[in-house]
Structure 1
């Protein structure tokens, strides 16, 4: 049916072209691609987002990104410091860490190898979307930024990187997160569901501590709540 329907169109179009094989092949390909297919239907709109690769973005950068520095939460922000989907997680204790995609992949493979044969689900909270550009050691200054080397992620302090949920004992998950932290740069800690959030490097355990961390920075001394519930006097500014 398709050949009979395309036959009068193809004869009328091919007469306008030359008889060279390359032109005939191009015309036939254009006719086949323009013919509507009966079995397939094109979806023009979908509310389901396409699954992106967390280790290498689908599209490259338009400009070469600068090195930059990881975000430092200020103003009382606790975003990304607690668990959202899982029961256990791995949180960063160090600061100014730029983790490459290969290191994240190695940590992911380490967790999956330790929990082999168990029922669980692993969540990734960071994505390697920062391009790293390098130049050779023998290059002189003034030759440009260099060529693309690998993808990386800027991880802020107290940021949760991995979350895990499943029918696995806590001791086994703790050991898997320990092995994954050994593969990543910096210091890491094991967190559980319900652990307090973190503002910068301070864990917010009660409302008094949260109010103290959100206070405006004043020149006079303000009372700082102690972790045991007592208050002590401490200057707001660091000594010289």
Structure 2
């Protein structure tokens, strides 16, 4: 799974997800892309599951770019633990996603295969997405 090699702070605040993505909101590398339409957290496992789905649908043809990275730690306390006693230990890593963020880009395959691969990948994610091209939204 994806995770940072080193972080400045072991635990971070939850934060807020307001507004739209200013950076990472345009297609830079590929011809087709998967774009988030609402905000949310995308775990390292979900990033990997969507990547595998894209590669299998494209039959390992073409090229895939992953445009998000899980750099935010989520903490959790053990089951059946009383309230209090501080914040829990780091449990997993997530990427913070805002509306308009490009998640995956692909190139080197036909339009039908690209749309199918990105649609199936979007089904693996916990928020709604749409497939976009360099020309515009499909």
Tell me the TM-score normalised to structure 2 length.
0.90
Higher relative contact order (CA 8 A, sep 6+): 2
| Separation of aligned partners in 1, 2:27 and 2:135 | 8
Aligned to 1:62: 9
Contact 2:36-2:130 at 8 Å conserved across structures: yes
Partner of residue 104 from structure 1, selected from 43, 47, 51:
47
**2:107 corresponding residue in structure 1:** 165
Q: Normalised by the size of structure 1, how large is the TM-score?
A: 0.53
Partner residue in 1 for 2:63: 121
Deviation above 4 Å: which 4+ runs of structure 1?
none
What is the alpha-carbon distance in structure 1 between the residues aligned to residue 18 and residue 112 of structure 2? 32
| Runs of 5+ consecutive residues of structure 1 not aligned to the other structure | 1-53, 197-240
The structure in which a higher percent of residues are helix is: 1
Structure 2 stretches of 5 or more lacking a match? none
TM-superposed deviation, 1:128:
0.4
Partner Cα separation in structure 2 for residue 69 and residue 86 of structure 1: 30
- Whether the 8 Å CA contact 1:71–1:155 is kept in 2: the answer is no
Deviation for aligned residue 1:55: 1.7
Q: Find out whether 1:91 has 2:32 as its counterpart.
A: no
Aligned length: 137
* Paired residues of 1:61 and 1:131 also in contact (CA < 8 A): no
Question: More strand per residue: 1 or 2?
Answer: 2
